[in-house]
Structure 1
Amino acid sequence: MNARCCKPASCLEYAPSSTAPLDTFFTASALSIAERLADAQMWELPGLEHFAPVLAPQSVAEESVTFFESARQPA
């Protein structure tokens, strides 16, 4: 774990529909990042592939709002 990063982080993982090397690389990378951050949240967007923000902006926005609401610190 990287103690230098102590802020909440969000990792969006697009849950590839194949086991192609590039797809598994991105999945492994997102998991690796989430495991190394102190307060990371992993979000899976099944079936949306790499262009999720373009193909399903509503789903990405909803996950982002959920993350920011959970990470909000009281004033």
Structure 2
Amino acid sequence: EAAGPCARCRAPVCGDCCVLTEGGARVWAICLACEDRGGRSLRRGWATVLGWIALPIAALAAVVALLEWLHRR
């Protein structure tokens, strides 16, 4: 009987074939295969999300700095 989807791979998991995440605001179930690959922490996923936000902002800041530098020349 499935208890819900795995937080990483979305595979159905049951209470006996999953572990609970650590270090998050909510507790999620992760299948044993995903735990073997990356542990119980979702830190890597959050780092990816923050990277998707921070990298475009940093790129835009670099473009603005370049344009300002070119304008002052």
TM-score, length of structure 2 as denominator length: 0.26
Greater share of helix: 2
